[in-house]
């Protein structure tokens, strides 16, 4: 592919709820612009942007893919993002690399929860947007109903740019409101016929046109003057004014299409060029000067020293690390001197490429604003900045959501177990929304992610890419044990086996402490009944003993131990003897002091629309939870609640079901609390069964 100058580039994120037809539209655009000779199909797994085997299997987009098409001598980098929220990390990467977005709305499904979420992500980035009402050839398609939903849930500041000629099976083309022409499509979209507007649609076109001119003239003095004087503005004047209004986020054009039938695709490609800004006219990038750490804004400018943001990383088992970057300033060639500014490390490259779905095409130069690929970088990861060390800047990275679901990842065999420690970190390199920890207490590898499908896809990727077969299961609960009442007990160890014997005798007071106190050891021995040199052995004996509770084998917390008396033998006493005496005292204390099981309680912060408030509060109560309070933020409620971990391990899935995907939450450990009898019985029974199996 040839090199394109900055003004001749557009970077466009395609965003929507899952199943709205983004990937099929990319296929149609690639076909219309000559990038491919035949349109692939999502169901068959033959599209240019859904090339991952997992995507073909699930028939949904899982990964962000970049497909560059050339239309009217302009390179349009189409960033096809997943619509399923479990893979929103990939969506955020695409939005971060774009200057504008196409928001797809399935005419039958309307504005769904995923549409609302991606709209807000684009709003946060202040991206210009065009709304595409897609699948107009579906049965019961109704353009006006879709418009009403857009007005109700997304924005009232929309302007219709193209509307359908016919709906459902009768959909055959679109009317261009500004040009005042009809465009009908035949032969799979290859044949486009421009004509007059059908008589029955003329009044509709005039109404949309008048509203459009009235709205955009408010930000264009020349057009406003012509409008007030009753003059008919030229299409060029209207396009210019609409371009500024779209770029500044004042209005959002709406267009109609059918991806599968390839109707309206070329009109949308035209609109991308006419109304979306090139990178050098888009919002400047937030960054900071690496030397002074001062916050700055960086305009996309080919005349400045090189800098680029890494917005995506993939791990290929054969090629190695593949790095996707967007050039912000300067240009990139195979000879460019690169430095990872975040890590102050040099990187070496030999080839510069552009991504075309799963393939790569080598280029001699990549100009500011363009998107490219580098391979085998050893130090650079997603969100980091590559730049010329002459002018080191750090471009703001990507804010990824935290994991909401955690599962235990277990290797299926010893061979898999040997490889898992290397494979999982490589997997995390390409997915910044995954989290990997080792729980030494339960001896589990814990994989955190954004949902069940996300973690399942990660496990499948471990197998396919890195040859590591694993299973996912609910993690073990880190219970704790303690005592209910203060007790005074004796631990006496005496053993005579011929020669030197073993003797250790200690009296201790064991008291329960407030939650969070941990373990406290004290001594108040008077009169030398236990020599000072044996006291550390008693403490060590207790510290080792409390690692395994007497109820179910969980660590003991929140107790104090005070050694206040005892006895010794001048020959037979030793550190080991007093350690064993301490263990006996520990067991006696928990027998007399009423051992109890503690369960971890987590604090949940739940964000939901107003209408789900009652359902959420009822659900939390059913989980033995307590509502701490709530705050209203417009039509959104933020609820604070506590609940036992065992009741909310799969809350991400349940919350999605309750709210139709509109709720979100975060949770963190808060405290330990005595478990109810039913839970104690289950935990103790399970511990005994596991012990019997060993």
Say which CATH number the domain at 453 has.
3.30.70.870
pLDDT score recorded for residue 486: 97
Query: Is the per-residue pLDDT at 234 higher than 90?
Result: no
* Same-domain check for residues 73 and 21: yes
The whole domain housing 445 covers 405-473
pLDDT score recorded for residue 440: 87
pLDDT digits (tens, 9 = 90+) for 314-352: 988 778 899 999 999 999 999 998 999 999 999 999 899
- Mean pLDDT over all residues of the chain? 93
Query: Is the per-residue pLDDT at 285 higher than 90?
Result: yes
User: Phi and psi at residue 521, in whole multiples of 5°?
Assistant: -120, 135
* Same-domain check for residues 524 and 463: no
Query: Is the per-residue pLDDT at 232 higher than 90?
Result: no
Average pLDDT over residues 588-614: 95
Per-residue burial over 497-533, b = 16 or more CB atoms within 10 Å of its CB, e = otherwise: eeeeebbbbbbbbbbbeebeeebebebebeeeebeee
* Same-domain check for residues 79 and 169: yes
pLDDT score recorded for residue 44: 76
**Token pair for 62:** 């899982």
Q: pLDDT band at residue 166, thresholds of 50, 70 and 90?
A: very high
* Residue-wise DSSP of 326-361: EEEESEE-TT--EEETTTTEEE--S-EEEEETTEEE
Q: What is the pTM of this model?
A: 0.89
Give 170: exposed, middle or buried? Use CB within 10 Å, 0-12, 13-18, 19+: exposed
Strands (E), 161-235: 162-165, 173-176, 181-186, 191-195
**Token pair for 295:** 């916050």
pLDDT digits (tens, 9 = 90+) for 22-46: 999 999 999 999 999 898 888 777 8
Per-residue burial over 275-289, b = 16 or more CB atoms within 10 Å of its CB, e = otherwise: bbbbbbebbebebbe
Tell me the torsion sign for CA atoms 305, 282, 345, 348: negative
Share of the chain above pLDDT 70, in %: 99
**Token pair for 35:** 């990038």
pLDDT digits (tens, 9 = 90+) for 126-137: 999 999 999 999
Average pLDDT over residues 560-568: 96
Residue 466 lies in a domain: yes
Strands (E), 317-443: 320-329, 331-332, 338-340, 345-347, 352-356, 359-363, 366-367, 371-375, 385-387, 393-395, 405-411, 435-439
* Same-domain check for residues 291 and 258: no
Residue 411 lies in a domain: yes
Task: State in Å, rounded, how far the first CA of the chain is from the last one.
Answer: 63
Residue with tokens 């107790």: 559
* Residue-wise DSSP of 576-612: HHHHHHHHHHHHHHHHHTTEEEEEEEEEEEEEEEGGG
Assess contact for 653 and 405: CB atoms under 8 A: yes
* Same-domain check for residues 469 and 490: no
* Same-domain check for residues 199 and 260: yes
Query: Is the per-residue pLDDT at 55 higher than 80?
Result: no
pLDDT score recorded for residue 489: 97
Say which CATH number the domain at 378 has.
2.40.30.10
pLDDT digits (tens, 9 = 90+) for 239-284: 999 999 999 999 999 999 999 999 999 999 999 999 999 999 999 9
* Same-domain check for residues 579 and 624: no
pLDDT digits (tens, 9 = 90+) for 648-681: 999 999 999 999 888 999 999 999 999 999 999 9
* Same-domain check for residues 25 and 123: yes
> What span, in angstroms and rounded, lies between the C-alpha atoms of 435 and 307?
29
Assess contact for 175 and 182: CB atoms under 8 A: yes
The conformation of residue 666, written as its DSSP 8-state character, comes to E
Say which CATH number the domain at 16 has.
3.40.50.300
Assess contact for 370 and 9: CB atoms under 8 A: yes
pLDDT score recorded for residue 270: 97
Closest CA to 625 of 642, 638, 608, 600: 642
Average pLDDT over residues 81-89: 92
**Token pair for 100:** 């504008």
* Same-domain check for residues 100 and 181: yes
> What span, in angstroms and rounded, lies between the C-alpha atoms of 439 and 431?
21
User: Phi and psi at residue 132, in whole multiples of 5°?
Assistant: -110, 115
pLDDT score recorded for residue 190: 75
pLDDT digits (tens, 9 = 90+) for 344-389: 999 999 899 999 998 999 999 999 999 999 999 999 999 999 999 9
pLDDT score recorded for residue 254: 98
**Token pair for 200:** 């029955």
> What span, in angstroms and rounded, lies between the C-alpha atoms of 555 and 349?
52
pLDDT score recorded for residue 46: 84
> What span, in angstroms and rounded, lies between the C-alpha atoms of 56 and 40?
12
Query: Is the per-residue pLDDT at 449 higher than 80?
Result: yes
**Token pair for 398:** 């990507």
Say which CATH number the domain at 537 has.
3.30.230.10
* Same-domain check for residues 98 and 180: yes
Residue 439 lies in a domain: yes
Q: Which of 565, 593, 621 is the last residue of a domain?
A: 593
Query: Is the per-residue pLDDT at 498 higher than 80?
Result: no
pLDDT digits (tens, 9 = 90+) for 502-528: 999 999 999 999 999 999 999 999 888
Give the side-chain half-sphere CA count within 13 A for 614.
Answer: 1
pLDDT digits (tens, 9 = 90+) for 394-411: 999 999 999 999 999 999
Residue 686 lies in a domain: no
Residue 327 lies in a domain: yes
Residue 572 lies in a domain: yes
Q: Which of 365, 395, 425 is the last residue of a domain?
A: 395
pLDDT score recorded for residue 644: 98
Indicate the number of domains in the chain.
5
* Same-domain check for residues 380 and 319: yes
The conformation of residue 199, written as its DSSP 8-state character, comes to G
* Same-domain check for residues 168 and 73: yes
């Amino acid at each position: 592919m040839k090199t394109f100058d900055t003004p001749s580039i557009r970077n466009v994120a395609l965003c929507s709820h899952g199943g709205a037809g983004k990937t099929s539209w990319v296929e149609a655009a690639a076909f219309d612009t000559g990038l491919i000779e035949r349109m692939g199909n999502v169901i068959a797994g033959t599209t240019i942007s859904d090339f991952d085997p997992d995507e073909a299997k699930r028939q949904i987009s899982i990964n962000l893919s970049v497909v560059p098409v050339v239309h009217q001598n302009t390179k349009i980098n189409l960033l096809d993002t997943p619509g399923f929220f479990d893979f929103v990390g990939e969506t955020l990467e695409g939005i971060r690399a774009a200057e504008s977005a196409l928001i797809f709305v399935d005419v039958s499904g309307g504005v769904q929860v995923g549409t609302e979420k991606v709209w807000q992500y684009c709003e946060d980035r202040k991206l210009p947007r065009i709304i595409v009402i897609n699948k107009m050839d579906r049965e019961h398609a109704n353009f006006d109903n879709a418009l009403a939903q857009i007005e109700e849930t997304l924005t009232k500041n929309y302007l219709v740019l193209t509307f359908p000629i016919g709906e459902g099976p009768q959909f055959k083309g679109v009317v261009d409101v500004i040009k005042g022409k009809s465009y009908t499509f035949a032969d799979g979209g290859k044949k486009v016929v421009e004509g007059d507007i059908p008589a029955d649609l003329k009044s509709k076109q005039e109404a949309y046109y008048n509203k459009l001119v009235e709205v955009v003239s408010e930000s264009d003095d020349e057009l406003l003057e012509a409008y007030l004087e009753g003059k008919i503005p030229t299409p060029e004047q209207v396009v210019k004014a609409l371009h500024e209004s779209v770029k500044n986020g004042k209005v959002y054009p709406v267009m109609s299409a059918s991806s599968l039938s390839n109707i309206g695709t070329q009109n949308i490609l035209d609109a991308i060029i006419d109304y979306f800004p090139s990178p050098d006219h888009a919002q400047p990038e937030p960054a900071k000067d690496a030397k002074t750490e001062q916050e700055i804004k960086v305009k996309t400018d080919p005349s400045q020293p090189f800098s680029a943001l890494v917005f995506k990383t993939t791990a290929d088992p054969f090629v190695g690390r593949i790095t996707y970057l967007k050039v912000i300033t300067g240009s990139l060639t195979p000879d460019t001197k690169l430095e990872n500014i975040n890590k102050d490390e040099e990187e070496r490259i030999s080839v510069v490429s552009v991504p075309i779905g799963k393939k790569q095409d080598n280029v001699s130069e990549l100009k500011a604003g363009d998107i490219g690929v580098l391979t085998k970088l050893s130090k650079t990861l997603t969100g980091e900045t590559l730049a010329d060390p002459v002018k080191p800047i750090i471009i703001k990275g990507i804010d990824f959501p935290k994991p909401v679901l955690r599962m235990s990842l277990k290797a299926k065999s010893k061979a898999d177990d040997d490889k898992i420690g290397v494979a999982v970190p490589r997997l995390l390199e390409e997915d910044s929304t995954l989290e990997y920890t080792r729980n030494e207490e339960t001896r589990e590898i814990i994989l955190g992610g954004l949902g069940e499908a996300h973690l399942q896809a990660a496990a499948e990727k471990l197998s396919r890419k890195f040859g590591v077969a694993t299973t996912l299961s609910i993690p073990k609960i880190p219970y704790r044990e303690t005592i209910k009442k203060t007790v005074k007990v004796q631990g006496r160890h005496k053993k005579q086996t011929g020669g030197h014997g073993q003797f250790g005798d200690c009296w201790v007071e064991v008291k329960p402490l407030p939650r969070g106190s941990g373990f406290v050891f004290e001594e108040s021995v008077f009169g030398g009944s236990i020599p000072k040199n044996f006291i550390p052995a008693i403490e060590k004996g207790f510290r080792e003993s409390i690692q395994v509770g007497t109820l179910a084998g969980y660590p003991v917390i929140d107790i104090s131990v005070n050694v206040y008396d005892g006895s010794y033998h001048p020959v037979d006493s030793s550190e080991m003897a007093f350690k064993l005496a301490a263990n006996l005292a520990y067991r006696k204390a928990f027998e007399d002091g009423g051992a109890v099981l503690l369960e971890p309680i987590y604090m949940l912060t739940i964000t939901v629309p107003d209408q789900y408030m009652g359902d959420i509060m009822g659900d939390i109560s059913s989980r033995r939870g307590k509502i701490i309070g709530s705050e209203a933020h417009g039509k959104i409620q933020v609820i604070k609640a506590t609940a036992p971990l065992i009741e909310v391990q799969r809350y991400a899935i349940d919350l999605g079901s309750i709210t139709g995907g509109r709720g979100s939450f975060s949770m963190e450990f808060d405290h330990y609390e005595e478990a109810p009898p039913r839970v104690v019985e289950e935990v103790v029974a399970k511990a005994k069964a596991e012990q019997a199996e060993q």
